Structure 1
Amino acid sequence: MNHVLIVDDEADIRDSLEAILREEDYAITTAGTAREALELVRDADYQAVLLDIWLPDSDGLDVLAQIRGESGSDQRASAPEVIMISGHGTIEAAVRATKLGAYDFLEKPLSLDRTLLVLRNAIKAHQLREDNQEFARQLAAKGSVTGQSVPLKALRQQIKLMAPTNGRVLIFGESGTGKELIARAMHAESLRHDRVFVELNCAAIPEDFIETELFGYRHGAGPGGPNQPTEKRGTFERADGGTLFLDEVGDMSLKTQAKVLRALDEQRFYPVGASTPVHVDARVIAATNKDLEEEIARGNFREDLFYRLNVIPFFVPPLRDRKEDIPLLAREFLQEFGQQYGRPRVEISDSALTQLKQYHWPGNVRELRNVIERVLILNPKAQRIETKHLPMLVQRTDGRPASSNREEFTTLLQAREAYERDYILKELDRSHGNVTRAAESLGLERSHLYRKMKTLGISMGE
């Protein structure tokens, strides 16, 4: 449902327009003054504004300029389209309104058919601008899949095969392997590449808010209760026509899983507080770092939802299985952070790259990226990254191999420490670095976990 703000000092016009537009299934808010209108626009998300040119406390064109930006060129996605209305329209006023960014100019008495047509077109224009700006942001964001290893070449070939279809994809991979980048690459090569890519990290949203994040809410049904004038489009609705990426889908509650399942089955859903459904056409790509079949056996994940999502399974290899890609990745991150911190010419030595390749990277690509950024920050005068600049953890590779390389262990103690270290790192990653939450999940006292981390050489920067 689209939200429209009506701004007119005549109560009869406000009331009649509100009644007509509500019949057309618009959510309506009204204002009688410029001050009230500007406060509402600042606090809520409107797709369109019907704005009278004559207001008791301000010129409507001044209000238009503030809504659209002082230059009349504010094209941020959240800015509503503004339709000016006037009982004393002049060519000069219409020209000025257009220059200030008005979508159209309507004269009183209003023609019902023309008003509805202009409003529909304005909302379509707002949605198109929103989609285009979101896509532009995504193109500017990092979206490549870097590497020349055999696993990465195979992965890119799989992306080319999967991308042009509308089949749902379930991406499996450890934390930090770049599952989001894979999803973005699939979208970029799909038939929907010129439409929006919307992502939601299911693990990052509290249970009380996940439903409204997914499906949105209508007037009066949001967190502010009945007195809240705003409404919100959820990720499903915003992804209409494009791609919806549900990251860490294994962290959704069973209640939320049931609602997602229904939305996937019916291709429609009910926003919170809505009496009519919203139909959507979005390709769904999901990702998880969990063994969902094991979660099903434990009763934590719905089997029917698993099969709906797992039409095309996709496995992202950990960094330890494609170590030949580490030099390329390291140089890419070095270039990225070098530009960010004003040091674009910093290089990295072959010996440092060799050392990076010897480390087992339990945190995968994300950990490598963090290490490169940390090295640049902590060595502001270095023009060349050497082995001595690397964290001690990366330098020490003789006693901390990955749990997958068990043949390298020489003692049971080493094997146990390596296993504990990997396990704790993964739990810290799942808890987004929150030691208290990780300790609860591990069944340890917070102080005990800190001692373990110190013993195993785990720092909070990993």
Structure 2
Amino acid sequence: MSKVDFLVIESNEVRAESILSALHFLGYHPQRGEDCVAADESTHAWRAVYVGSVADPAEAERQFALLGAAADQVPVLLARDSEWSARLCATDSPFAARIGMVEFPLRYEQLAEVMRSLYARLLGGRRGELRFVGESAPMRRVNALIRQVAPFDSSVLVLGESGTGKEMVARTIHECSPRRDRPFVAINCGAIPAELLESELFGHEKGAFTGAISARKGRFELAEGGTLFLDEIGDMSLPMQVKLLRVLQERVFERVGGTKSQRCDVRIIAATHRNLEQAIANGQFREDLFYRLSVFPLEMPALREHLDDLPVLIDEFNQRLARRGLGSVRFTTGALNALHQYAWPGNVRELCNLVERLAILYPHGDIRAADLPEKYRGRQTVDEVRGASLLTLMEEAAAPTASAGAAHAADATLLPEGGIDLKDHLADIEVGLIRQALEATGGVVAHAAKLLRMQRTTLVEKLRKYGLQGSLAA
């Protein structure tokens, strides 16, 4: 049985039953204060408190005191018409900053949103640091799902190809949850032989098997009160799946070679790159375990599904490399276009490794398409030369005379006596080329972007930046 984690102080029987049912549904383990004589560390781990109708102030004080030291930090759900509203919401109250108001008749959606808002407020700026990098629609959805599920104890099943960041999702959920100050323990179920996995998960007693010279705690014990991440759960053997299912159902386990049952209070997050529904059909994965784990499934998109995030991902990896003392690198437009055409079977992990490799080879340098390892180049090197030739032809066609064009080209390489604002000068060149590309393609942004070897979304942003939207009407 899991530890009680939500104290409910409510004199009204109907309201008490309503709030208890809703909290159970959200994954908490609530207990009415009037049913609790004393709170013990072995049975209670307070994560929040609800305060509603207070018929007997002295009894309510006794119940509130059950929180002990947790009263200084846990979120407080407060019925809007509670007799304690003035006391808890006063400007000088230590609870004022962590109160969420609840109204009756109670609605599940309202309660869930109040809890999400409370935890977001308590986490403050820390949540921003844990946000997954990327502004594309798939990554915004991932960030939204993480924020929604983090405050609750529901089991999460993270799905996705290798290298998409499944363990990072698990760590982020843990860091954004009420369990963030307790252990996060990870285990790769596919990397440990089946005969040793039981001992790794549940621990063993001295003499349980050859080589067990002393008792040892398993991952469930090490993660007590925190989060246990079961990576590559799809590679777990069927006999081990049966044992894991029992623990998830009963929240009780025994060490290998032991007879003493131990309670466990851990949140389970599992991950796999396999198609578990197909594995169930093939008899390789238990259906009951699948439904126990996938209370909240979360699928990570492959990198090829959010290539617009390449620049911000590269910038993030550059910052990490700088913290390690490595030089950052800048990718030219041609290099970025080449990376857009690559399939990325290794996903974000492969991109991270590529950036680090290039930072070692070309510290603080500009990476051109020709500098990329051959498999990443595709036809981009040839296309760069071809694109440059097209732009040269466009410039010559736009010039009043050939001689004037040549003179302009020669002057562009000379530094004026009074100096030059290089940023503005380069912006002028960029605006000129964008105008020529739009004119050459009849104002069709997609065709102009292709001619300029950039993403359509990038060109649209530059049109906004330079106020060139009017060019599209031509």
Q: CA deviation at 1:384?
A: 2.4
The correspondence for 1:390, drawn from 369, 372, 380, is 372
Contact 2:184/2:228, CA 8 A, preserved across alignment: yes
Give the Cα separation in 2 of the matches to 1:283 and 1:263: 12
Q: CA deviation at 1:367?
A: 1.2
Structure 2 letter corresponding to 1:370: N
1:321-340 residue pairs with structure 2 within 5 A? Answer: 321-340=305-324
Give the Cα separation in 2 of the matches to 1:305 and 1:343: 45
1:245-264 residue pairs with structure 2 within 5 A? Answer: 245-264=229-248
1:286 corresponds to 2:273: no
TM-score by length of 2: 0.51
Structure 2 letter corresponding to 1:194: D
The structure-2 alpha-carbon separation of the partners of 1:315 and 1:218, relative to structure 1 and needing over 3 Å to count, comes to: same
1:164 corresponds to 2:120: no
1:6-405 residue pairs with structure 2 within 5 A? Answer: 144-221=131-208, 224-225=211-212, 228=213, 230-340=214-324, 342-377=325-360, 379-380=361-362, 383-396=365-378
Q: CA deviation at 1:337?
A: 2.8
Contact 1:143/1:184, CA 8 A, preserved across alignment: no
Identity of aligned residues (%): 46
Q: Deviations over 1:140-196 (max 9, x none)?
A: xx9652111111111111111111111111111111111111111111111111111
The structure-2 alpha-carbon separation of the partners of 1:381 and 1:291, relative to structure 1 and needing over 3 Å to count, comes to: closer
Q: Tell me the equivalent position of 1:66.
A: none
Give the Cα separation in 1 of the matches to 2:356 and 2:305: 23
Most deviating of 278-287 and 202-211? 202-211
Give the Cα separation in 1 of the matches to 2:163 and 2:328: 27
Q: Deviations over 1:108-157 (max 9, x none)?
A: xxxxxxxxxxxxxxxxxxxxxxxxxxxxxxx9xx9652111111111111
Give the Cα separation in 2 of the matches to 1:271 and 1:321: 44
Q: CA deviation at 1:380?
A: 4.8
Contact 1:144/1:181, CA 8 A, preserved across alignment: no
The structure-2 alpha-carbon separation of the partners of 1:387 and 1:339, relative to structure 1 and needing over 3 Å to count, comes to: farther
Give the Cα separation in 2 of the matches to 1:354 and 1:307: 42
| Aligned Cα root-mean-square deviation (Å) | 1.9
Q: Deviations over 1:229-278 (max 9, x none)?
A: x2221111111111111011000000110110011011011111111011
Q: Deviations over 1:327-377 (max 9, x none)?
A: 11112223323443x333433333322222221211111111121122233
Q: Secondary structure at the match of 1:336?
A: helix
Give the Cα separation in 2 of the matches to 1:191 and 1:381: 41
Give the Cα separation in 2 of the matches to 1:395 and 1:307: 43
Give the Cα separation in 1 of the matches to 2:209 and 2:332: 54
TM-score by length of 1: 0.52
Q: Secondary structure at the match of 1:233?
A: coil
Q: Deviations over 1:428-455 (max 9, x none)?
A: xxxxxxxxxxxxxxxxxxxxxxxxxxxx
Q: Deviations over 1:2-51 (max 9, x none)?
A: xxxxxxxxxxxxxxxxxxxxxxxxxxxxxxxxxxxxxxxxxxxxxxxxxx
Give the Cα separation in 1 of the matches to 2:130 and 2:207: 38
Contact 1:358/1:397, CA 8 A, preserved across alignment: no
Q: Secondary structure at the match of 2:186?
A: strand
Contact 1:217/1:273, CA 8 A, preserved across alignment: yes
Give the Cα separation in 1 of the matches to 2:379 and 2:185: 39
Structure 2 letter corresponding to 1:359: Y
Contact 2:321/2:328, CA 8 A, preserved across alignment: no
Structure 1 letter corresponding to 2:287: E
Give the Cα separation in 1 of the matches to 2:133 and 2:175: 15
Structure 2 alignment gaps of length 5 or more? 1-125, 381-474
Q: Secondary structure at the match of 1:356?
A: helix
Q: Tell me the equivalent position of 1:103.
A: none
Give the Cα separation in 2 of the matches to 1:361 and 1:381: 24
Contact 2:151/2:177, CA 8 A, preserved across alignment: yes
The structure-2 alpha-carbon separation of the partners of 1:325 and 1:380, relative to structure 1 and needing over 3 Å to count, comes to: closer
Contact 2:317/2:355, CA 8 A, preserved across alignment: yes
Contact 1:196/1:242, CA 8 A, preserved across alignment: yes
Contact 2:329/2:363, CA 8 A, preserved across alignment: no
Give the Cα separation in 2 of the matches to 1:397 and 1:248: 36
Q: Secondary structure at the match of 1:284?
A: strand
Q: CA deviation at 1:222?
A: 5.3
Structure 2 letter corresponding to 1:390: L
Give the Cα separation in 1 of the matches to 2:328 and 2:162: 31
Return the index of the structure with the highest Cα Rg. 2
Q: Secondary structure at the match of 1:232?
A: coil
Q: Secondary structure at the match of 1:167?
A: coil
Contact 1:143/1:181, CA 8 A, preserved across alignment: no
Q: Secondary structure at the match of 2:321?
A: helix
Contact 2:186/2:230, CA 8 A, preserved across alignment: yes
